[in-house]
Amino acid sequence: MGKSASTFSTSLASGLFPRNEQVVDAFKKLTDLVEQLQADLKSTNQNVVNIDKTLKKQSEDLNLFQNEVNTFNSKALSALKYAFFYPSHLLDGRRYWLTNREYFFKGTEAESFCEFFGGYLAEIDSDKERNIIEAYVKNKGLFDIVYVGGTDEEQEGVWKYKHSNTTVKYFNWRNGEPNGGRIENCLAYHISQLYDITCSFFPDSKVGFLCEIPE
């Protein structure tokens, strides 16, 4: 005889639907997987926190190192400045720095030297400023002639300060000066009066240059 309907139904149901132990086992595996994923996520989050702390510490260390480098550079630059120049007293937020020995230089090289230390060739705009510089230079007694800012290289007779790009308005020329034409295109002080002179100097010419450096 064939199978009864109830037997067939039971057999079909057992084939279509998993047994209870299969469901429990699958659920347990799923639960274990979720727990593992949660543990992995927690570990990842902790790693991110640790990396963030490490990066923050490295950033702080880098900033500290940079500050130390900046301090060292500042001290080294200051020491180098004193090795090449004599400073004046502070005047209206700036100092004048006179070369302390004779060098061979051109006007552009003197400008670059001043710029390296954060300044420019002195721009003298008044009797007050000239008197202070004159006393300072005389006190040092190093040079007969001191090269300052000011040139008429672009246009003969039109004197300009290169740093401020302004026309020189204060002159106290020595009698007969300027007289160098296109040969002498730079400004310099001899004692207390202005001369136009050549823009290249030799070590035995007793010529220095004067920087003006803000503080």
For residues 98 and 146, the answer to whether their CB atoms sit within 8 Å is: yes
| pLDDT at site 19 | 65
Binned at pLDDT 50, 70 and 90, residue 143 comes out as confident
| pLDDT at site 16 | 53
| pLDDT at site 65 | 63
CA atoms within 13 A on the CB side of 142: 20
Average pLDDT over residues 126-146: 88
Q: Which two tokens stand for residue 109?
A: 């090289």
Residue appearing with tokens 């004159």 = 134
* pTM, two decimal places: 0.66
Q: Which residues contact 144 (CB under 8 A, 6 or more apart)?
A: 190, 206, 207
> What whole-number percentage of the chain has pLDDT above 70?
84
Query: Which of the four CATH numbers 3.40.228.10, 3.40.50.720, 3.10.100.10, 3.40.50.800 does domain 88-214 have?
Result: 3.10.100.10
For residues 132 and 88, the answer to whether their CB atoms sit within 8 Å is: yes
For residues 143 and 188, the answer to whether their CB atoms sit within 8 Å is: no
User: What are the domain boundaries of the chain?
Assistant: 11-80, 88-214
Which among 210, 103, 97 has a CA at the least distance from the CA of 161?
A: 210
**Which of residues 5 and 120 earns the better pLDDT score?**
120
Residues paired with 85 in a beta bridge? 99
Looking at the predicted structure, is the pLDDT value of residue 41 above 90? no
| pLDDT at site 72 | 63
**Which of residues 171 and 23 earns the better pLDDT score?**
171
Task: Give CA–CA dist 136/146, Å, rounded.
Answer: 12
DSSP string, 67-120: HHHHHHHHHHHHHHHHHHEEE---BTTEEEEEESS---EEHHHHHHHHHHTT-E
pLDDT tens across 174-209, in order? 999 988 788 899 999 887 889 998 887 665 667 889
Binned at pLDDT 50, 70 and 90, residue 152 comes out as very high
| pLDDT at site 21 | 76
Look over the chain and give the mean of its residue pLDDT values, rounded to a whole number. Answer: 82
165: DSSP letter: T
Handedness of CA 150, 153, 157, 158 (dihedral sign): negative
| pLDDT at site 29 | 81
